Amino acid sequence: MDRDVIDIRNVRLPPLPPLRTILLGVGGVLALVLVWGIFYQVQPEEVGVVTRFGRYVRTTEPGLRIKMPLLETVYKVPVQRQLKQEFGFLTVEPGSRTRYSDAYFADTSVMLTGDLNVAVVEWIVQYRVADPYLYLFRVRNVEGTFRDMTEAVMRAVVGDRTVTEVLTVGRQEIESTVQERLQEMCNLYETGLSVDQVVLQDVNPPDLVKPSWDEVNQAQQQRDRLINEAQGEYNQVIPRARGEAKQTILQAQGYALDRVNRSQGDATRFKAVHDAYRRAPEVTRRRMYLETMARVLPRLGSKLILDDQAEGVISLLPLETLRRLAAPKGAPEGRENQ
């Protein structure tokens, strides 16, 4: 028992290093801290915002820079990087096969439309830091504020439209309207953010009413299809009927114009004949007689011309037979009545 007792009087501590060595060591550490605090690196997609005792001093560009150690602080802001916020869903693992969270963000995605219906809206906002000074010093918790503003603007825009517009034809208009209003609010609150794009990822009715909504959608599609078919039939029948009616009218007008012109021509010709008859009645009468006989006689068939003073046996000259004999071979024979 007595062997384990240690006599404190016999214990000797190791000698302390000289004071000079301690001062050199402390000075070296301080020098390293100062050197480490002087230089800082700004990445290519960033800018450095330097403050001195909390007051903004300057903004530095990418590269290796220097500052006053212990007095100045550097905040690196990614001004060239495109930032993104998701609403109504959460991406767990991005990549070629993106994996999303199974959680249901009803407090964000469920919205009331202008016709008092409910729609589940999921969207993405892509933005950049346009002014790093405003981004750091004008708004406290700028990311949370921007998220709240985005949700408020989306609810306001969706609330001004019907559920049909939100789910179908009005998506592009909603995206552009939300982007414009959100940018106006960012400028008003001096957040220093620039909104690049608002994209609606998925817009659906709530799960409880999806079957009914699908039936209504199918009925609307069938209605639109029948309307398009009827419109197509209308476009085929009505223009054809209008064309036929116009063609009939033009034919009637042409016939009327032809009849009028013919009547005017006959009247003019009759007046000319009458004037000629008045100037030379005998010549005109003989000419009219000869023209009439020239039109009538060829239709009488065989003709016999006799002298009214002939007596005895009358000799006949077979003109038709002689004409057929005199005709060249292969030539078509004329009708007997000509």
Residues 219-229 have pLDDT tens digits of: 888 998 999 99
142 shares its domain with 67: no
Q: Residue 143 and residue 194: Cα distance in Å, rounded? A: 13
Report the alpha-carbon distance of residue 153 to residue 40 in Å, rounded: 40
Residue 297 lies in a domain: no
163 and 190 within one domain: yes
Q: Are residues 153 and 223 in the same domain?
A: no
What is the share, in percent, of the chain residues with pLDDT greater than 70? 78
Task: Please count the structural domains in the chain.
Answer: 3
Mean per-residue pLDDT over the chain, rounded:
83
- In a shared domain, residues 150 and 66: no
pLDDT in the model for residue 336: 44
Residue 316 within any structural domain of the chain: no
- Identify whether the C-beta of residue 69 lies closer than 8 Å to the C-beta of residue 37: yes
pLDDT digits (tens, 9 = 90+) for 15-26: 656 666 666 666
Q: Among 292, 310, 325, identify where a domain stops.
A: 292
The reply to whether 111 and 169 lie within a common domain is yes
- What is the structure's pLDDT at 249? 93
In the listed set 205, 224, 245, which residue is the last one of a domain according to the structure?
A: 205
Q: Which of 169, 189, 205 is the last residue of a domain?
A: 205
Q: Please check whether residue 187 lies inside any domain of the structure.
A: yes
Q: Is the pLDDT of residue 129 over 80?
A: yes
Lowest mean pLDDT among 43-52, 166-175, 183-192, 326-335: 326-335
Judgement on whether residues 177 and 215 belong to the same structural domain of the protein: no
Residue 161 pLDDT level (bands cut at 50, 70, 90) = very high
Q: Which residues of the chain form beta strands (DSSP E)?
A: 39-42, 47-52, 55-60, 63-66, 72-77, 83-87, 91-93, 99-100, 110-112, 118-129, 193-204
Give me the long-range contacts of 214-219 (CB less than 8 A, separation at least 24): none
Do 193 and 213 sit in the same domain of this protein?
no
pLDDT tens, residue by residue, 221-256: 899 899 999 999 989 889 889 999 999 999 999 999
The pLDDT of 124-128, averaged and rounded, is: 96
Query: Domain for residue 302, yes or no?
Result: no
pTM: 0.58
Q: Is the pLDDT of residue 2 over 70?
A: no
For residue 313, tell me if it sits in a domain. Answer: no
Q: Of 48, 41, 45, which Cα lies nearest the Cα of 132? A: 48
CATH number at residue 115: 3.30.479.30
Domain that holds residue 44: 29-81
